[in-house]
Amino acid sequence: MKKYFEQKIGEPVAILCARYWYRGIVSDVNDSYVVLVNPFMVTETGAFTINRPRREDALPSDVAISYGAIEVVEQPTWCFAGYDVKSKEEKSKKK
């Protein structure tokens, strides 16, 4: 899992842990956990192709998520909302 997150540094991801999705920009990776900056706790996602999650709350500080707590990692369209980065689709349109 560490290698996956190392490739995603600077990109937004959505991580499912038990009950909630967390989304943020991957900023730091080590052997035990990944750190998301500018994070949100998503309580209702909606479709993975919508531009914003239906319901989320901004978190007041960076979030460190232990690899053992991670159930799923994705990059749905809504995980890019509000971040100044290109989505996977926008990157693939570049010439």
**Full 3-state SS string of 26-70:** EEEECCCEEEEEEEEEEEECCCCCCCCCCEEEECCCCEEEEHHHC
Is residue 19 very low, low, confident or very high in pLDDT (cuts 50, 70, 90)? confident
CATH topology of domain 2-86: SH3 type barrels. (2.30.30)
What percent of the chain lies above the pLDDT cut of 70? 89
**Residue the block writes with tokens 């290698």:** 3
pLDDT for residue 90 is more than 70: no
- Mean pLDDT, residues 33-49: 94
pTM equals 0.86
- Mean pLDDT, residues 69-84: 94
pLDDT for residue 50 is more than 80: yes
Q: Mean pLDDT in the chain?
A: 90
What pLDDT score was predicted for residue 92? 45
